[in-house]
Structure 1
């Protein structure tokens, strides 16, 4: 992994542990594409993705990364969190661009009832701020 990629991974972990949304401005590419576990459609652009990730940091309880696999500019970060008392298990699949910024970010998660609780909590907070998440 490049020095820029190592720095991004370290800063990403700092965001995950603190929820400091300002860190997202450092690590996300301007044209980042985010694919959440709650919708089929991807979300694009740094400002929108910053809003989503900053919001989810406030929705998750007891978030922690348990394992990580790093292969150059591709990462898989396994996590556990709670949403409204339901345990959510997931993996963040992240790809960096040539500058070491997060260019692609996909989240896969289970079980369905915890993902549904996440969707409801996120919709409640983001509905007034974003266009329809499905389109």
Structure 2
């Protein structure tokens, strides 16, 4: 998933959103219920870019058919070192339709939960605005 990795590392919000399928489902490392939809997932990923400091991928693992990838990352959230993995599945059009994130250690997961929780109202507003302005999201 080199295109996604390059977009994230360049902090290119438009390129990231362009790689998401309309029916993408985002599964958070700290929320029980997955978040469906391109507008919501794009808003969550923008919040991640605001909250995660020194974010960088350290390894990429992709299956033989190129539809499933694991991107291992490191970052800092609220002073806690975070190691995590983005598990991505792409559909037949090459767009991400399943996005699952896991993080460790527990103290980092708690920091992520608190920092992202503080962003949640803004995420909801951004997603609602994007869905109104860009109905295809």
Residues 129 and 107 from structure 1, CA distance in 2 versus in 1: closer, same or farther, beyond 3 angstroms? closer
Matched, 1:27 2:19: yes
3-state DSSP of counterpart to 1:15: helix
Tell me, in whole angstroms, the C-alpha distance in 2 between the residues paired with 1:58 and 1:11. Answer: 21
Matched, 1:80 2:74: yes
Structure 1 gaps of 5+ residues are 1-8
The TM-score normalised by the length of structure 2 is 0.84
Alignment partner for residue 42 of structure 2, among 34, 46, 50? Answer: 50
Alignment partner for residue 108 of structure 1, among 102, 105, 111? Answer: 102
Q: Please report the RMSD computed on the Cα atoms of aligned residues, expressed in angstroms.
A: 1.4
Give, in angstroms, the shift of residue 42 of structure 1.
0.3
Q: Deviations over 1:50-83 (max 9, x none)?
A: 0001110111111111111111200011111100
Map of 1:3 onto structure 2: none
4+ residue segments displaced more than 3 Å: none
The TM-score normalised by the length of structure 1 is 0.85
